[in-house]
Amino acid sequence: MAKNDTYQNDLDTGTAAGGRLSGLGTTASSQIDSSPLIALGAGLALGAVLGAVLPGSDKERELLGPYGRKLSEAGTGALDRGRGMAKQKFDEMAGDKLREFLGASSTGTADA
């Protein structure tokens, strides 16, 4: 009798878990339908994490190595250009604020 009760409890637990998983699938599907770009970003992030965690194979390195080097070089170049543009914009903004400050202080002393 106890064996049948344990079996029935396990069956009920499995059925309940399956129902919850089915509900999660439906919820995930509706979320993807309503926000496909967020889903795409989450998928890319998950793929990047898995790619970083799982070791690469020799065949992978052989086939994708040249592309990885090109992407790395392009990314480094883009980062350097972005850094240069950000520094230039910061210098422009800082110069404008400095001129504002010096202009205000020089007119303030002339008024006094």
3-state secondary structure of 56: coil
> Would the pTM count as exceeding 0.75?
no
- The secondary structure of 66-108 as a DSSP string is HHHHHHHHHHHHHHHHHHHHHHHHHHHHHHHHHHHHHHHHHHH
Digit-coded pLDDT (tens) for 29-57: 777 778 888 888 888 999 989 888 888 78
Give me Rg for the CA atoms of the chain: 30
Q: Tell me how far apart the alpha carbons of residues 19 and 13 are, in angstroms, rounded to a whole number.
A: 10
CB atoms within 10 A of CB 32: 14
Tens of pLDDT, residues 55-89: 878 888 888 888 888 888 888 989 999 999 999 99
